[in-house]
Amino acid sequence: MSKSDRSKPQTALICGASGGLGEVLARTLLSRGMTVCGTMRNPSNHPQGDFRMLAMDVRDAVSVNACFQSARDAMGSIDVVVNCVNEMILGSVEELSVEEIGGVYDINVVGTARIAKAALPIMREQGGGLVVSMSSLGGILAVPYLSAYTSAKFAIEAFSEALYHEVKADNIDIVIMQPVAMRMDRADVGDHLKVAAGVGKDSLTHHVVSVMAKDTRESKLTPQRVSEAIYDVIKSKNRKLRYPMDRAKVVSKIKRLAPQSVIDKMIGGLISKPA
């Protein structure tokens, strides 16, 4: 796929499309004329919709490779891959178990690597493609009580940036999206956000959860807006490596330019309970 072909309808594999951003993105790309497959661990638990859902568990390389082969067979090519699979567990470093930290990394970081390793040979053979990694504000700013999640996002940023340089000559673009919390109609905690098993009832972790829930409810950013931004990236002829959205634009500048005392004050405001 040459750069001149980007204005034409393309195929997309959305990893993690059973709900949230992934599902909205799949429907958005469909409405723009693209052919789309989505993935989830067990498609039999998901009602058949207007795009094909394939089985994929990002923790299993065999599952990932089989899914990519099925997607290629179904669509003829895989021009775009967007990884929306995400795991978030809150808790201090002392509250988190090593197993919980490893689980976050296996899904968010190693899962990203498994998806890239499955996508790149296909894209290289077909002459190009685009891989979109979903980072977040947590990939810019390390937040206490989110050490596992934010460090995993930092790792995704570094992995994707290194990969960007490795495959640039092969007409394969790597893009990192950096949205903030998106406003969705769902409970404060659940499959999308878990609290570590070792968190006590008086832990400050619960306060951080409440702050995050408030930020989410009041966010101006929605899955639809992020989906439309991703579509614009897909159609762009001159893609950038990173796309910070909303407050992430400001925070990325603060992180680069401000002294540590300013960052400490910003973080302190996040984790300090009101009097």
What are the tens digits of pLDDT across the range 181-192?
A: 888 776 555 566
The boundaries of the domain holding residue 100 are: 3-271
Provide the pLDDT for residue 4: 43
Residues 6+ apart with CB under 8 A from 178: 135, 136, 137, 139, 140, 242, 243, 244, 245, 248, 252
Q: How many other C-beta atoms can be found within 10 angstroms of the C-beta atom of residue 197?
A: 12
The number of folded domains in the chain is: 1
pTM score over 0.85: yes
Split the chain (275 residues) into runs of 10 and give each run's mean pLDDT. 57 95 96 96 81 96 98 97 96 97 98 98 96 94 94 98 97 95 68 86 91 84 95 95 89 86 82 64
Q: Residue 225: exposed, middle, or buried by beta-carbon count in 10 A (0-12, 13-18, 19+)?
A: middle
What are the tens digits of pLDDT across the range 39-81?
A: 999 998 777 678 999 999 999 999 999 999 999 999 999 999 9
3-class SS of residue 134 = strand
Provide the pLDDT for residue 84: 96
Both structure tokens of 14 = 């959305």
Least Cα distance to 84 among 156, 155, 30, 32 occurs for 156
Could you tell me what percent of the chain has a pLDDT over 70?
A: 92
Spatial distance between the Cα atoms of 203 and 216, rounded to a whole number of angstroms: 21
Give the CATH number of the domain where residue 162 resides.
3.40.50.720
Provide the pLDDT for residue 273: 66
The residue to which tokens 């300013």 are assigned? 262
